[in-house]
Amino acid sequence: MYFSMRKTFILLLWLAVFLPVTALAGPGRTGAQILNLGGGARARALGDAFYAVSGDVTTSLWNPSGLADMPESKLRSGKKAAQASMFYTDRTAIFGEAGEGLYYTFLSGAMPLGDFGTIGATLQMEGQGTIAVTTDSPDILREENLGTNFALTFSYADRITDSLSAGINGKIIRMVLGRENGNSYALDLGMQYRIPFDLMPTTLGVAIQNIGPGISFIDENQADPLPRFLRIGTATSLYRDNYNHLRLVSGITAYIDKLAEDKDELAVDLERLNAEREEKLTREQLLSDRGVGIRAFEWRHLQKNLGLEYWLGDIFAIRVGCKVEPGINLPNLTDYLTGGIGVKLFLFNLDLSYRANPGPGRASSGTIPGLIEVTGIIIF
């Protein structure tokens, strides 16, 4: 009966993959950007290459199947451990003076259910800061809070076979825009497969995130599509003994929001763009530039991630990573190096990550204050 439940679970995952979805978007053209923030200082330090990592409660934000392999509890012999975590980052440094009051945080937890898999929940919160309200004069009348965005995620994951695990997230999203708010929902689907390669054990992870309707503040005709991703990653154990563990993680993300382009709108855009150009764009070139359909997998449209993690005695970790995002290639804005450390003390994990300030705050301050992010995890 239990094996039948697992087969049903896999079937539901594949059915969900092929549910009808909206066909507009692309990086920078979607709503609900809180879904694009991910999180966890460990993942950040590894350049967000976290799609094939398991056993960490924060994996639910990257690939829900990672919850299927929770570590063994130190309090209950032979039992898998439950985990609870909190992540926080002050985003003021990214935007300089304009970033006052900006932050991103999440609370997450996961509970193994023995032979019935693992359940989890995550609450993401994004503070949007304040804005100065003025009239015709430069005098500030008041400071108005722009509100807080929320995303509540419920997770389930289980090991299907000794080599294959699967997971699913269900999300409820609430976005605030001034005095208006919009709501939506979404699914994440993920799988991880342990490749039978004993020399360097490797896990392959695949996840599709944010399958759901667009989010609207006024009416459905003006809905913003959710940022939908296809993530593929690997985690390879390069070396391991009783006191040392070196792991290489990698990943790519394709923005698969834009499955098709309206033919009439495309013709109008092509005519407008060619009116200002000597060398005319073709229809295929424009579709390629916008990453429509299969063109989203062109190398220039992919987000690339790479990380290296070294553990000393399962107590202290050093991490470095690199993340390259698609889009306009502005120095120190889209591409950056990351680093961090991790410490395990009995029931507690503390992870720190750091990267040089990638945003306009660097230019405005004339310094490199950097962005520090912290995750605390309790394992029990």
Q: Identify the residue whose tokens are 């834009």.
A: 258
Compute the distance between CA of residue 291 and CA of residue 25 in angstroms, rounded to an integer: 10
The identity of residue 145, as a single letter, is N
116 CB-contact burial (10 Å; exposed 0-12 / middle 13-18 / buried 19+): exposed
pLDDT, residue 223, reads 76
Close Cβ partners of 100 (under 8 Å, ≥ 6 residues apart): 92, 129, 130
pLDDT, residue 190, reads 96
Q: Are strands 229-240 and 244-255 parallel, antiparallel or unpaired?
A: antiparallel
Compute the distance between CA of residue 152 and CA of residue 140 in angstroms, rounded to an integer: 35
Q: Identify the residue whose tokens are 């934000």.
A: 61
Count of domains observed in the chain: 1
Flag whether the pTM goes above 0.75.
yes
pLDDT, residue 215, reads 86
pLDDT, residue 290, reads 86
Q: Identify the residue whose tokens are 């994440």.
A: 188
Compute the distance between CA of residue 158 and CA of residue 116 in angstroms, rounded to an integer: 7
83 CB-contact burial (10 Å; exposed 0-12 / middle 13-18 / buried 19+): buried
Domain that holds residue 24: 2-379
User: By the 8 A CB rule, do 154 and 121 touch?
Assistant: yes
Q: Sign of dihedral through CA atoms 296, 153, 105, 33?
A: positive
User: By the 8 A CB rule, do 320 and 49 touch?
Assistant: no
- Domain CATH code at residue 365: 2.40.160.40
In order along its 380 residues, the chain shows pLDDT tens digits of 455 455 555 555 555 554 444 333 344 467 788 998 888 999 999 999 999 999 999 999 999 999 999 988 877 777 888 999 999 888 776 666 555 678 899 999 999 998 899 999 999 999 987 776 666 666 666 677 788 999 999 999 999 999 999 999 999 999 987 777 889 999 999 999 999 888 899 999 999 999 999 887 776 666 788 999 999 999 999 999 999 999 999 999 999 988 888 888 888 888 888 887 888 888 898 888 888 889 999 999 999 999 999 999 989 999 999 999 886 554 444 467 899 999 998 889 999 998 865 554 443 333 445 677 889 888 88
